[in-house]
Amino acid sequence: MAEKRLRIEGMTCQHCVKAVTNALREVAGVRSVDVSLADKLAVLSVDEATFDRADAEKAIAEEGYSVAGDA
Protein backbone atom coordinates (compact mmCIF):
# COMPACT_ATOMS: atom_id res chain seq x y z
CA MET A 1 0.00 0.00 0.00
CA ALA A 2 1.11 3.53 -0.74
CA GLU A 3 -0.26 7.01 -0.13
CA LYS A 4 -0.93 9.39 -3.01
CA ARG A 5 -1.81 13.05 -2.41
CA LEU A 6 -3.49 14.99 -5.21
CA ARG A 7 -4.36 18.70 -5.26
CA ILE A 8 -7.86 19.13 -6.68
CA GLU A 9 -9.00 22.35 -8.36
CA GLY A 10 -12.62 23.38 -8.71
CA MET A 11 -14.12 22.07 -5.46
CA THR A 12 -16.31 24.66 -3.71
CA CYS A 13 -18.67 22.71 -1.43
CA GLN A 14 -19.35 19.40 0.28
CA HIS A 15 -21.21 18.20 -2.82
CA CYS A 16 -17.93 18.59 -4.71
CA VAL A 17 -16.12 16.60 -2.03
CA LYS A 18 -18.68 13.81 -2.29
CA ALA A 19 -18.46 13.73 -6.09
CA VAL A 20 -14.65 13.51 -6.04
CA THR A 21 -14.68 10.92 -3.25
CA ASN A 22 -17.18 8.70 -5.07
CA ALA A 23 -15.30 9.00 -8.37
CA LEU A 24 -11.97 8.07 -6.80
CA ARG A 25 -13.45 5.10 -4.94
CA GLU A 26 -14.27 3.56 -8.33
CA VAL A 27 -10.67 3.74 -9.61
CA ALA A 28 -8.84 0.42 -9.70
CA GLY A 29 -6.31 0.05 -6.91
CA VAL A 30 -7.81 2.70 -4.63
CA ARG A 31 -8.36 1.27 -1.14
CA SER A 32 -9.45 4.42 0.71
CA VAL A 33 -10.07 8.09 -0.04
CA ASP A 34 -10.04 11.18 2.17
CA VAL A 35 -10.94 14.46 0.44
CA SER A 36 -10.49 17.84 2.17
CA LEU A 37 -12.37 20.87 0.86
CA ALA A 38 -10.32 23.29 2.97
CA ASP A 39 -7.02 21.93 1.69
CA LYS A 40 -8.30 21.13 -1.84
CA LEU A 41 -6.62 17.78 -1.36
CA ALA A 42 -7.38 14.10 -1.94
CA VAL A 43 -5.35 11.57 0.04
CA LEU A 44 -5.54 8.07 -1.40
CA SER A 45 -4.39 4.77 -0.01
CA VAL A 46 -3.59 2.69 -3.08
CA ASP A 47 -2.29 -0.67 -4.19
CA GLU A 48 0.62 0.39 -6.39
CA ALA A 49 0.41 -2.79 -8.46
CA THR A 50 -3.05 -1.89 -9.81
CA PHE A 51 -3.35 1.89 -9.34
CA ASP A 52 -2.89 4.15 -12.37
CA ARG A 53 -2.73 7.89 -11.68
CA ALA A 54 -4.08 8.63 -15.17
CA ASP A 55 -7.25 6.73 -14.28
CA ALA A 56 -7.65 8.82 -11.12
CA GLU A 57 -7.14 12.06 -13.05
CA LYS A 58 -9.67 10.95 -15.66
CA ALA A 59 -12.26 10.10 -12.99
CA ILE A 60 -11.78 13.54 -11.41
CA ALA A 61 -12.03 15.28 -14.79
CA GLU A 62 -15.24 13.42 -15.61
CA GLU A 63 -16.77 15.01 -12.51
CA GLY A 64 -15.72 18.48 -13.67
CA TYR A 65 -12.62 19.02 -11.53
CA SER A 66 -8.90 18.89 -12.27
CA VAL A 67 -5.72 17.66 -10.62
CA ALA A 68 -3.32 20.55 -9.99
CA GLY A 69 -0.44 18.26 -9.06
CA ASP A 70 0.89 16.31 -6.11
CA ALA A 71 0.66 17.69 -2.61
- What is the predicted pLDDT for the residue at 6? 97
Q: Report the pLDDT averaged over residues 36-58.
A: 97
Residues contacting 35, CB < 8 A, separation 6+: 8, 11, 17, 20, 21, 24, 41, 42, 43
Mean pLDDT score of the chain: 96
Q: Report the pLDDT averaged over residues 61-71.
A: 92
pLDDT-based confidence at residue 69 (cuts at 50, 70, 90): confident
Residue among 44, 45, 35 nearest 65 (CA): 35
Task: Tell me which CATH code domain 2-70 carries.
Answer: 3.30.70.100
pTM of the model: 0.92
What is the largest distance, in Å, between two alpha-carbon atoms of the chain? 33
- pLDDT > 80? residue 13: yes
